[in-house]
């Protein structure tokens, strides 16, 4: 009988038949097992362990392996050990078919990961029944694994679609505020990337590592564009005023923080899970990004650690962008001058450690400002 070949042309034509790889160095044993299996299974044979391992490097893999123990070269135990050590083949059911009848030998085989141990001479009916059981279990596990893979892929696709829709919605909502003040252009995109750059730089810092997890950084990135959403509620004569605001006008302008907070908090109450988390974060940023480290900011006059980390990150991002960008009331200033102003505000306007992080990545800020520069 030719080695490494399908043993029955009639069986080959039936695509749905499971495949059994028979590994034995004795031709008579191969003939017995082939005669037993043909008509029920597609059979593939190997007359030593090395050949069996080579066959298992190719697709498709068999549904079950019948493996002799005593063979020249690599014995069956070592073949099984290598099969189970390789992730690609580890799940294949191995059944030892051997003349070794000692309980200790069977224990070794099962400890190596075999699903069954059949001693020679075999009982054809019992052997076929046990093979049928293990093949059925393997195929059932394959179907469950495939179903799980398909479900996981579907979840990934739906999650990606929801994430894309979510991000598009956030940008659209943010743009409602920015559209009323077209001088700000790509402000929301720049600040979004500034915040993420700062968060990534600080994620291993002992003061911030508990907060800046990978998930939280993603939430910050997605929610930060909503920091000025409350400006929708500010009258045009104040929002678009080219000159300095009066004291009364400034008091009205300051309400954009509480207006944004209220709207986002209300929306968050109707959401749950990830969606609720990012809206809660957006509400927090909208409310506290104008607070200052020394307590002189608004709307609550929070000081130091009482200011949420999200607001402290946005404070640096927002001020830097305001400095380097053209506004209705001022021209842009050079990057170097903006950096100097941020550094000067360390400990008064800004959290000193966040300023240190900013100082370490000012080049990234400059690149972001250039990449998302406003149309001229």
Q: Identify the CATH number of the domain in which residue 113 sits.
A: 3.40.50.2300
91 pLDDT tier (thresholds 50, 70, 90) = very high
Is residue 214, in this structure, part of any structural domain at all?
A: yes
Q: Is the confidence at residue 374, as pLDDT, over 60?
A: yes
Reported as a single tens digit per residue, the pLDDT across 321-343 is 999 998 766 789 999 999 999 99
1 pLDDT tier (thresholds 50, 70, 90) = very low
- The residue count for the chain: 376
Is residue 16, in this structure, part of any structural domain at all?
A: yes
Is residue 75, in this structure, part of any structural domain at all?
A: yes
Reported as a single tens digit per residue, the pLDDT across 265-321 is 887 777 655 556 778 899 999 999 999 999 999 999 999 999 999 999 999 999 999
The residues with which 327 forms a beta bridge, in sequence order, are 330
143 and 184 share one domain: no
Is residue 337, in this structure, part of any structural domain at all?
A: yes
The CB-based long-range contact list for 242-248 (8 Å cut-off, 24+ gap) reads 242/328, 242/329, 243/329, 244/329
134 and 16 share one domain: yes
| 3-state secondary structure at position 151 | helix
140 and 215 share one domain: no
12 pLDDT tier (thresholds 50, 70, 90) = very low
Q: Which CATH number fits the domain that encloses residue 305?
A: 1.10.3210.10
Spatial contact of 279 and 268, defined as CB atoms under 8 Å apart = yes
Q: What is the pLDDT of residue 206?
A: 96
Reported as a single tens digit per residue, the pLDDT across 42-86 is 999 999 999 999 999 999 999 999 999 999 999 999 999 999 999
Nearest-Å Rg of the Cα atoms of the chain is: 34
Instruction: Identify the weakest region by mean pLDDT among 16-20, 33-37, 272-276.
Output: 272-276
| 3-state secondary structure at position 23 | strand
Domain of residue 316, residue span: 180-371
Instruction: Identify the weakest region by mean pLDDT among 85-89, 101-105, 236-240.
Output: 236-240
Q: Is the confidence at residue 4, as pLDDT, over 60?
A: no
Of 312, 293, 302, the residue nearest 358 (C-alpha): 312
247 pLDDT tier (thresholds 50, 70, 90) = very high
Average pLDDT of span 90-115: 93
Q: Is the confidence at residue 172, as pLDDT, over 60?
A: no
Peptide bond into 299 cis (omega under 30): yes
264 and 332 share one domain: yes
367 and 225 share one domain: yes
Which of the residue ranges 102-111, 134-143, 182-191, 303-312 has the most confident prediction, judged by mean pLDDT? 303-312
Is residue 3, in this structure, part of any structural domain at all?
A: no
88 and 210 share one domain: no
188 and 143 share one domain: no
Is residue 102, in this structure, part of any structural domain at all?
A: yes
97 and 209 share one domain: no
Overall number of domains in the chain: 2
């Amino acid at each position: 009988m030719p080695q490494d070949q399908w043993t029955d042309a009639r069986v080959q034509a039936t695509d749905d038949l499971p495949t059994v790889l028979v590994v034995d160095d004795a031709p008579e044993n191969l003939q017995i097992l082939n005669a037993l299996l043909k008509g029920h299974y597609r059979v593939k044979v190997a007359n030593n362990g090395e050949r069996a391992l080579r066959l298992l490097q190719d697709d498709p893999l068999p549904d079950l392996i019948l493996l002799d123990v005593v063979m020249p070269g690599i014995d069956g135990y070592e073949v099984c050990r290598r099969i189970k050590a390789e992730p690609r083949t580890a799940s294949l059911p191995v059944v030892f078919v051997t003349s070794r009848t000692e309980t200790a030998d069977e224990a070794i085989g099962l400890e190596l990961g075999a699903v069954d141990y059949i001693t020679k001479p075999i009982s054809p009916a019992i052997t076929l029944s046990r093979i049928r059981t293990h093949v059925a279990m393997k195929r059932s596990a394959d179907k469950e694994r495939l179903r799980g893979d398909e479900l996981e892929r579907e979840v990934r696709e739906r999650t990606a679609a929801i994430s894309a829709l979510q991000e598009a919605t956030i940008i659209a909502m943010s743009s409602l505020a920015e559209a009323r003040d077209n001088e700000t252009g790509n402000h929301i995109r720049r600040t979004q990337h500034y915040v993420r750059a700062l968060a990534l730089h600080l994620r291993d810092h002992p003061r911030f590592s508990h907060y800046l997890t990978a998930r939280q950084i993603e939430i910050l990135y997605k929610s930060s564009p909503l920091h000025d959403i409350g400006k929708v509620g500010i009258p045009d004569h104040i929002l678009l005023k080219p000159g300095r605001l009066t004291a009364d006008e400034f008091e009205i302008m300051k309400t954009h923080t509480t207006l944004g907070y209220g709207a986002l908090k209300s929306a968050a109450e109707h959401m749950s899970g990830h969606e609720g988390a990012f809206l809660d974060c957006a509400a927090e940023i909208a409310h506290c990004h104008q607070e200052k480290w020394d307590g002189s900011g608004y709307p609550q006059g929070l000081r130091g650690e009482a200011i949420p980390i999200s607001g402290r990150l946005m404070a640096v991002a927002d001020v830097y962008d305001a400095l380097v960008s053209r506004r209705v009331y001022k021209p842009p200033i050079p990057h170097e001058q903006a950096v100097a102003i941020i550094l000067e505000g360390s400990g008064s306007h800004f959290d000193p450690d966040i300023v240190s992080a900013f100082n370490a990545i000012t080049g990234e800020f400059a690149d972001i400002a250039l990449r998302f520069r406003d149309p001229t």
